[in-house]
Amino acid sequence: MTKRTIWLHPEGSAVQIVDQRSLPHELSIATLRTSDEAAAAISEMWVRGAPLIGATAAYGFWLGTLEALGQKDSKAWLEACAARLLATRPTAVNLQWAISQQMDICRELAFEPKACQQACLANAQAIVEEDVAHCKAIGGHGLALIEAIYRKTGKAVQILTHCNAGRMACIEWGTATSPIYQAHAAGIPVHVWVDETRPRNQGARITAWELAEAGIPHTVIADNTGGHLMQHGMVDICLVGSDRTTALGDVANKIGTYLKALAAHDNDVPFYVALPSSSIDFSLQDGLKEIPIEKRGAGELSHIQGWSEEHAEILSVRLTPEHSPAVNYGFDVTPARLVTGLITERGICRAEREAIREMFPDLSAGA
């Protein structure tokens, strides 16, 4: 098992990633040698998850600085490279955040290719190390919530999660899963309800695989099931990630998160969102109006990929009638009023403007 989800190729001049499309059936490693390959890996979801998208974009931009060496106008080249990477996916703010960091660095170095190369590589590595540290810290803060439930009930803590906000969405640890990994390591019994997360099944494919690898008790459920479980007292806490959180605490996350937040609210189940501050977009207020929601291809819904025991291979099958259209929105926005709290690397705060500002006075100052 690879420990991280992205790393520098041992020979340099390339990065390697886990190609997440074939999970859980195969664990395959892909090498990205160009900024275009990095952009494709993001848009075609070889990698996904806000923090990992940010890290891949940062490395992808660094690959662009290598390519800039052969260009007449390195500034124009890098601006185009930034634009191509930015256009891959619209919802996760980490993409913008990582690319604008890299562009700021290049601007300061007057787009001198050699200097940009070194500085952008160092920055990509710093982004990666910071994400690991932030996810670990998120886990520590979230662990306290899980521990408190366990102390009260004395039973395995029942956690519901949606999509994959695990280590495969980050570098290590994950955001929503970090408290779970740390609780498990601390000997607190936990059980995770894993939302399948249609249409791309990141829960059933990736979160379940991660938890199985870590030996953490879990059960895969259809996305339709969480409400019923919460009505019957079978969920102690919901823990999800975020692709972009506004200054007011509205949370964009994988489509369907809002429905779980409604059910949690209706049944007095605490609903927490785990996120590094890199996912907060301090420039936005009303998430429903302002966060761009990605619309992906209908084929992701009409067809699905799985393991055919009969043919001993991964196959795609069509689920819908041939002439029925389908639509595929990637995310929805959970209004702050439904969020019990944000678990960040600095601690837990309410999903409200003042609380977020107090937690991150340095980051929110400019906005």
Which residues sit at the interface with its own copies, rule CB under 8 A? Answer: 24-25, 194, 196-199, 201, 204-205, 208-209, 211-212, 218-228, 231-232, 254-256, 258-260, 262-263, 266, 288, 293, 301-311, 314-329, 331-333
Cβ at position 136, least distance to its own copies in Å: 25
Comparing CB distances to its own copies, the nearer of 11 and 310 is 310
Minimum CB separation of residue 218 from its own copies in Å reads 7
Instruction: Tell whether the torsion through CA atoms of 255, 175, 338 and 98 is positive or negative.
Output: negative
**Residue 287 Cβ vs its own copies, minimum distance, rounded to whole Å:** 10
- Rounded to a whole number of angstroms, the minimum distance from the CB of residue 266 to its own copies is 6
- In whole angstroms, give the CA distance from residue 239 to residue 183: 13
Q: How many CB atoms lie within 10 A of CB 317?
A: 10
User: Among 71, 73, 35, which residue's Cα sits nearest to residue 56?
Assistant: 35
Sequence-separated contacts (24+) of 350-357 with Cβ below 8 Å: 350/249, 351/245, 351/248, 351/249, 351/250, 351/251, 351/273, 352/248, 352/249, 353/247, 353/248, 353/249, 355/249, 356/247, 356/248, 356/249, 356/280, 357/247
Rounded to the nearest angstrom, the gap between the alpha carbon of residue 149 and the centroid of all alpha carbons in its chain is 26
Whose Cβ is closer to its own copies: residue 113's or residue 174's? 174
Residue 24, preceding peptide bond in cis (omega within 30° of 0): yes
CA distance 232 to 111: 59
Helix (H) or strand (E) holding 150: helix 113-153
Q: Report the residue number, 76 or 222, with the smaller CB distance to its own copies.
A: 222
State which amino acid sits at residue 104. D
Smallest gap, in angstroms, from Cβ of residue 200 to its own copies?
9
167 CB burial (10 A radius; 0-12, 13-18, 19+): buried
Mark whether 243 is an active-site residue: yes
Beta carbon nearer to its own copies, 48 or 141 = 48
Minimal distance, residue 354 CB to its own copies, in Å: 25
Residue located via tokens 């499309």? 21
Contact between residue 269 and residue 340 where contact means Cβ atoms under 8 Å apart? no
Q: Choose between 108 and 266: whose C-beta lies nearer to its own copies.
A: 266
C-beta of residue 204 within 8 angstroms of C-beta of residue 197: yes
Query: Could you say which of 243, 250, 281, 332 is catalytic?
Result: 243
Pick between residue 266 and residue 358 the one whose CB is nearest to its own copies: 266
How far CA 324 is from CA of 146, 224, 305, 319, in Å, comes to 44, 22, 19, 10
Q: Catalytic site residues?
A: 243
